[in-house]
Amino acid sequence: MNFNKGTGLTKRQLRNILLTRLKKQTKQQREEKSRLIEIRLLKLEEFIKAKRIMFYLAFDGEVKTKNMINKARELGKEIYAPQCASKEKTLKPYALKKDSALKRGPYQIWESQTENELPIEELDLVVVPALAFDKDGNRLGRGKGYYDRFLRKISKHTHSIGLAFDFQILPTLPIEQNDVPVSKVLSA
């Protein structure tokens, strides 16, 4: 499907198409593109200046973040990963140490098991997944709104960077009042 002239598709239709594309991408393609995105991230001023970074833990074909996390840790950054706060229907940043035990959260996404929660306003950078982004940083998530609620709470000084494969960048996305864009998107 060609998305060049806008989609006219619903969020649900777009999610189905993009999930299929993510699954069709080979492991080698995903790793090569993730490495290119990693190189771009490490050169960004927002990343270089950040001391406390929250990374998502990739699953279901998303841009891989494991090497980015390891590199950031080597550079002396404090690393955090989101935990799903089911009652509040949002995310909370928890320390992700090299030896942190991981567990599957409510949506089968890996989470750190540490109890070291960081206040949201203390994050310098949030690395965000999505099924799609548009040129304005709008994002199409998986439909639960967790990242939208989380991004609404971060400090105005906290940068948010979306990571995506080239086919996940669309000219426009259907946007609703509760949707929160990211500051910047990196893709390959």
Q: In the structure encoding, which two tokens stand for residue 54, read together?
A: 């929250």
pLDDT in tens, 65-100: 999 999 999 999 999 999 998 788 889 999 999 988
Whole-Å CA distances, 144 to 47, 132, 161, 165 = 27, 15, 19, 21
**Tens digits of per-residue pLDDT, 131-146?**
999 999 999 999 899 9
Structural domain count of the chain: 1
The mean of the pLDDT values for the chain is 93
- Does any domain span residue 63? yes
| Inside any domain, residue 141 | yes
Domain that holds residue 140: 11-187
> Does a structural domain hold residue 79?
yes
CATH classification of the domain holding 30: 3.40.50.10420
CB 91 within 8 A of CB 141: no
The answer as to whether 1 is a domain residue is no
In this structure, is residue 27 part of a structural domain? yes
Handedness of CA 135, 37, 166, 143 (dihedral sign): negative
